[in-house]
Amino acid sequence: MTGEANAGKALTVDLEGTTFARIPIKTSVVMPGDDLDAFIREYASGVVAPGDILFVTEKIVAITQGRSFPIDSITPRKLAFFLAKYVTKTPYGIGLGMPETMEMALRECGTLRILFAAAVSAVTKLFGRKGDFYRIAGDKARAIDGPTSGTIPPYNKAVVLGPSRPREVALRLKALLGVDAEVAVVDINDLGGNILGSTLDKAGERRLVSILKDNPLGQGHQSTPLGVVRPA
């Protein structure tokens, strides 16, 4: 079942002389303990065609891997409270700007790496340079999703880590679909996007980021954690 785009976003985009359709797939809410393979079979098998790219949001992969944690189950250490105060807040999400998400970054990435990233970022910000914290902390820190009011429940009160072994997940889902289509596990938001793992080559991954960079899938009531890119 196809769904609606994110508010104000078109379902087609032109890139390098080609028009691509971005087809959202509406699903039920993914819950911890759900089987990702069964979920993909139920919702994507009838939509994906040869030549398509199925893109799967990293959040549902992580949730089915048991990497979602209710806020009230996380006890931040004092260092997490301290570091969270210095995270730049944006209108697009909490990121690591709350003690609970920072605590999970410390656990995922290691205290020394987060401290080094914070120290370098503090210096380079003085010279007007941005983004060094996540460049040093890495994809695991970047992929952590905190609770927001626009997120579909129960994840509006949860911290979701990045998925484990996303390339392996993409390869498995490609085999599961049984058609000549590619699969990518993506982290896309209004600030841009990353491909965490895919069956594409590097050029294909860069092209996919360009196709999806305006974040066409809804993150809330639209309930579209899957989508298909198809030459129109």
Domain membership of residue 86 (yes or no) is yes
The verdict on 94 and 25 lying in the same domain is no
The verdict on 92 and 141 lying in the same domain is yes
> For residues 198 and 182, is the Cβ–Cβ distance under 8 A?
yes
> For residues 26 and 46, is the Cβ–Cβ distance under 8 A?
no
Res. 195 pLDDT band, cuts 50 70 90: very high
**Bigger pLDDT: 210 or 3?**
210
> For residues 162 and 175, is the Cβ–Cβ distance under 8 A?
no
Structure tokens at 230: 């198809």
Whether the pLDDT of residue 184 is over 90: the answer is yes
CA distance 127 to 197: 33
Of 127, 143, 159, the position where a domain reaches its end is: 159
Domain membership of residue 54 (yes or no) is yes
Instruction: Name the strand (E) or helix (H) holding 228.
Output: strand 226-231
Q: For the CA atoms of the chain, what is the radius of gyration? A: 18
Domain membership of residue 33 (yes or no) is yes
Domain membership of residue 5 (yes or no) is no
The verdict on 27 and 91 lying in the same domain is no
Instruction: Name the strand (E) or helix (H) holding 183.
Output: strand 182-189
Q: What is the mean pLDDT of the chain?
A: 88
User: Of 64-78, 105-119, 129-143, which gets the smallest average pLDDT?
Assistant: 129-143
Percentage of the chain surpassing pLDDT 90?
63
pLDDT in tens, 18-49: 899 999 999 999 999 999 999 999 999 989 99
Whether the pLDDT of residue 109 is over 80: the answer is yes
Domain membership of residue 2 (yes or no) is no
Res. 91 pLDDT band, cuts 50 70 90: low
CA distance 93 to 156: 11
Whether the pLDDT of residue 229 is over 90: the answer is yes
Mean pLDDT, residues 124-141 taken together: 87
The verdict on 143 and 84 lying in the same domain is yes
Domain membership of residue 72 (yes or no) is no
Domain membership of residue 3 (yes or no) is no
User: Of 170-174, 208-212, 216-220, which gets the smallest average pLDDT?
Assistant: 216-220
Res. 192 pLDDT band, cuts 50 70 90: low
The verdict on 166 and 63 lying in the same domain is yes
The verdict on 200 and 145 lying in the same domain is no
Whether the pLDDT of residue 104 is over 90: the answer is yes
The verdict on 177 and 189 lying in the same domain is yes
Q: What is the pLDDT of residue 177?
A: 94
Range of the domain at 145: 77-159
**Bigger pLDDT: 232 or 61?**
61
Of 109, 135, 159, the position where a domain reaches its end is: 159
The verdict on 39 and 52 lying in the same domain is yes
> For residues 5 and 217, is the Cβ–Cβ distance under 8 A?
yes
The verdict on 92 and 196 lying in the same domain is no
Domain membership of residue 62 (yes or no) is yes
Of 117, 140, 159, the position where a domain reaches its end is: 159
Q: What is the CATH number of the domain that holds 54?
A: 3.30.1330.100
Q: What is the pLDDT of residue 17?
A: 87
Into how many domains does the chain fold?
A: 2
The verdict on 106 and 152 lying in the same domain is yes
The verdict on 81 and 34 lying in the same domain is no
Instruction: Name the strand (E) or helix (H) holding 15.
Output: strand 12-15
